[in-house]
Amino acid sequence: MSRPAAPPAPTTRSPMTRPAATQPPARPPCDTLGLSRHQLAQVRAACAYIDACAGQGVTLAALAAHVGSSPWRIQRLFKKAMGITPREYADARRSSRFRHALRHGDSVAGATYDAGYGSSSRVYERAHAKLGMTPASYARGGRGARIAYAIVDSPLGRLLVAATERGVCFVSLGEHDAELEAALKAEFPKADAIVRDEAAIAPALEAVLDYLRGATPHVELPLDVRATAFQRRVWQELMAIPPGETRSYAEIAAALGLPKAQRAVGRACATNPVAILVPCHRALRADGTLGGYRWGLTRKAALLEREAERQR
pLDDT digits (tens, 9 = 90+) for 115-135: 444 444 444 344 333 333 455
- Please pick, among 47, 169, 269, 280, the residue that the annotation labels catalytic: 280
Asked, for residue 13, whether it belongs to a domain, the answer is no
CATH number of the domain bearing residue 292: 1.10.10.10
pLDDT for residue 68: 92
Structure confidence by residue, pLDDT tens digits, 58-105:
888 889 999 998 888 888 888 888 777 888 788 777 766 655 554 554
pLDDT for residue 65: 92
Is the same domain home to 65 and 115? Answer: yes
Tally of domains within the chain: 3
Structure confidence by residue, pLDDT tens digits, 236-251:
899 888 888 999 999 9
Q: Between the CA of residue 74 and those of 19, 51, 63, 145, 223, what are the distances in Å?
A: 20, 16, 8, 42, 31
DSSP H helical ranges for 116-171 = 120-131
Q: Give me the phi and psi of 171, to 5 degrees please.
A: -135, 130
pTM over 0.85: no
Asked, for residue 16, whether it belongs to a domain, the answer is no
Asked, for residue 4, whether it belongs to a domain, the answer is no
Asked, for residue 279, whether it belongs to a domain, the answer is yes
Domain boundary among 155, 188, 213: 213
pLDDT higher than threshold 50 for residue 7: no
- Residue percentage of the chain with pLDDT more than 90: 38
Is the same domain home to 50 and 114? Answer: yes
Is the same domain home to 239 and 294? Answer: yes
DSSP E strand stretches across the chain? 146-154, 157-163, 168-174, 193-196, 247-248, 283-284
Asked, for residue 10, whether it belongs to a domain, the answer is no
pLDDT higher than threshold 80 for residue 221: yes
Residue 280 is a catalytic residue: yes
Asked, for residue 251, whether it belongs to a domain, the answer is yes
User: Can you tell me the distance from the alpha carbon of 204 to that of 194, in angstroms, rounded to the nearest whole number?
Assistant: 16
User: Can you tell me the distance from the alpha carbon of 250 to that of 262, in angstroms, rounded to the nearest whole number?
Assistant: 5
Q: Structural domain of residue 152, as residue ranges?
A: 140-213
CATH number of the domain bearing residue 67: 1.10.10.60
Domain boundary among 167, 188, 213: 213
Least confident of 13-27, 151-165, 191-205, 250-264: 13-27
pLDDT for residue 97: 63
Rounded average pLDDT over 1-18:
42
Is the same domain home to 144 and 208? Answer: yes
Is the same domain home to 171 and 235? Answer: no
CATH number of the domain bearing residue 198: 3.30.160.70
